[in-house]
Amino acid sequence: MLSGERRFHRSPVLVALFVSQVVAACAVRSQNGEPLLQRTEVETEPGPPLSLEGAGISASAIAISPDGAWLAAVNPDSGSISLLSLPGLELVKELKVGRDPRTLTFRADSNVLYVANYGGNSIAAVDVEQAVKSAEVPVGPMPYAAIEHAGVLYVSEHALGRVSAYDVETGELQSTLELDPFPAGLALDPGAGKLYVTHLLSGRVTRIDLSSFTLEALLTTGKDVNLSQFIYLDLRFQRAYLPQTRSNSSNPALVFDATVFPLVNVVDLASQKLIRQERISLDMGPRSVNMPFAVALDEARQVLLVANAGSNDVSIIDLQNNRQLARLQVSANPRGIVFDPQANLGYVNNVLDGTISVIDTLGLAVVDTIHITEIPLDPQILLGKKLFHAARVPDLTTDRWISCAVCHFDGGMDGRTWLGFPDGPRNTPALFGVGRTLPIHWSGDLDELQDVELTIRTIQAGTGLVRGETFDSLGPPHGGLSPELDALAAFMSSLGVPPSPYPVGQREFERGEQLFGQLGCAECHVPPLYTDSQLHDVGTGDPELERNSHGRGTRFDTPSLLGIWATAPYFHDGSAQTLLDVLRTTNEHHIADKISESELQAFLSFLLALPSE
């Protein structure tokens, strides 16, 4: 039972926000090239207390209860949430809820908290007053967010591209709605009965009518938009705010400050259209920000707070003139932010630091930092994880533009083929299991994980983690030259392969596996890692475009097939959008016409089920 008790209430309106990504435009500048967006003085007289009736309900990494008595935050690496009392910000309890909790929302009466355990495939219900987990119910794979409305819990099931509805009382699945790939953030307009869903890699937003549980509208915030996993609804002004990153992958002449652009896109909820003139570009001033992940709104003053997960700061924007009032440094990987209208404070969840930063939104200053969890990772891996997600220091990038995570979120890929890479067009590879499948890069020219030092220097425009000379990627090792670089490599080595959400019967799996061997696929994709770590020319490369400095030409490293269900598009240039496209491409992979339809289905089922353990 997910309700915590047997009586139900409609979910109310609540300012609650979630973390996690991102489209941009150029910085606003005057004619002489100076930034227009400087820190400015603002009115410091507090206005009357603001009700939460102007906001929708967003699944968030940090949230305030509707009655204003509680603050709750997820701790993904600790598998817990932390409950704090308001207004005193006293840590009442940290309690275990499940594996990798990403977001949470309060029920209307503030008595129950729903937590989406992304890594545990479950939703936990927390009795707030008792500070105990009252239930944990299995749901579809990789639940990114969950919101309750009228006795039904709506869950974005990231891995299978769907939103499912569960009875709050029994936990039983009521219905499922198939959507575009990788649904992530959820926001509810409770009065209208509309649910908004972001899609991580596409920038699309789906609107669902809850009365009929049907897809009502599909809008786009731009074809090059990425890392879109949070949405905030301002119902009073009929606006939706989406922190996102624009991936400028089609640019043939990439430089560090023309690769990814941080922004907040604004959608008119009435017309369901993007309002381009209200788009907020966050690359303002002498330095940019990285990975805008969540927003909060001071509705009375129309001031937007943006948590930037890569640059470890918060942008404070005056929406009336689109000016930046301040940019405040917080702690590691801020993935959630919420505004407390009673205290004029912003609370920021720094998930890789185990802290909450407290921001005085009138004085524009961080006034407190509250410790809420001890992160139980090996210290070296934790340091590496912070470095992987960071764009704060010049060692990693110039002017805070690029982090590793902005292209490899959660160790995955961004679904983009970058035309301006030094080697030629390159489809961003996932890093799943990369510690076991060296070399890396499509050209196979990084033979140790520490060779990413060269990527930091060339692609991210950082000064590097190694002090002094570096070597050719196929030359002397970079391992052991820098504790920070070794920590980054240790984190990358710790990245596992996500389990497949596509179960297949043993007989079907074995049939597909047998075909995999009979058709010669296992000669290059050698089990159990499904790679031979060798270079092959499979007919996909264009000699006119390939520029690898080691003379690889049109030969490419055999990618592992583990986790292939999550890594479309395929090939070095992203030329195959689906696995079926792969099986109809080039002589080496063109097998679709050589086997029967039932055999083809078994073959695809086998691939999608990897890893099978």
User: What pLDDT is recorded for position 3?
Assistant: 58
Residue 117's beta-bridge partner residues?
A: 101, 122
- Can you give the residue ranges of every domain in the chain? 16-375, 380-494, 506-608
Of the CA atoms within 13 Å of residue 400, those in its CB half-sphere come to 21
- Specify the CATH number of the domain 506-608: 1.10.760.10
Topology agreement, domain 380-494 and domain 506-608: yes
User: What pLDDT is recorded for position 258?
Assistant: 87
| Architecture of the domain whose range is 16-375 | 7 Propeller (2.130)
Tokens of 176: 């499922």
Q: Is the separation of the CB atoms in 291 and 414 below 8 Å?
A: no
Cα–Cα nearest to 283, from 22, 27, 21: 27
User: What pLDDT is recorded for position 130?
Assistant: 95
Cα dihedral across residues 26, 28, 31, 33: positive or negative? negative
Q: Is the separation of the CB atoms in 265 and 245 below 8 Å?
A: no
**How far is the C-alpha of 294 from the C-alpha of 309, rounded, in Å?**
8
**How far is the C-alpha of 379 from the C-alpha of 77, rounded, in Å?**
13
What residues of the chain score a pLDDT lower than 50?
Answer: 4-52
Q: Is the separation of the CB atoms in 25 and 68 below 8 Å?
A: no
Write down the number of H helices and E strands in the chain: 7, 36
User: What pLDDT is recorded for position 38?
Assistant: 32
User: What pLDDT is recorded for position 255?
Assistant: 87
Q: Is the separation of the CB atoms in 469 and 481 below 8 Å?
A: no
User: What pLDDT is recorded for position 53?
Assistant: 55
**Unique residue bearing structure tokens 């973390």:** 19
Compute φ and ψ for 483, nearest 5 degrees: -60, -35
Please name the residues in contact with 168: beta carbons below 8 A apart, sequence gap of 6 or more: 1, 2, 3, 8, 148, 151, 152, 153
Cα–Cα nearest to 59, from 14, 116, 104, 109: 104
Tokens of 230: 């949070």
Tokens of 165: 């509805």
Cα dihedral across residues 104, 127, 188, 216: positive or negative? positive
User: What pLDDT is recorded for position 2?
Assistant: 66
User: What pLDDT is recorded for position 119?
Assistant: 97
Which tens digit of pLDDT belongs to each residue from 514-553?
999 999 999 999 999 999 999 999 999 999 999 998 999 9
**How far is the C-alpha of 349 from the C-alpha of 337, rounded, in Å?**
6
Compute φ and ψ for 587, nearest 5 degrees: -65, -35
Domain spanning 380-494, CATH class: mainly alpha
Q: Check whether the bond before 528 is cis (ω within 30° of 0).
A: yes
N-terminal to C-terminal alpha carbon distance within the chain:
30
**How far is the C-alpha of 340 from the C-alpha of 356, rounded, in Å?**
14
Q: Which helix (H) or strand (E) holds 601?
A: helix 597-608
Tokens of 36: 């227009």
User: What pLDDT is recorded for position 338?
Assistant: 98
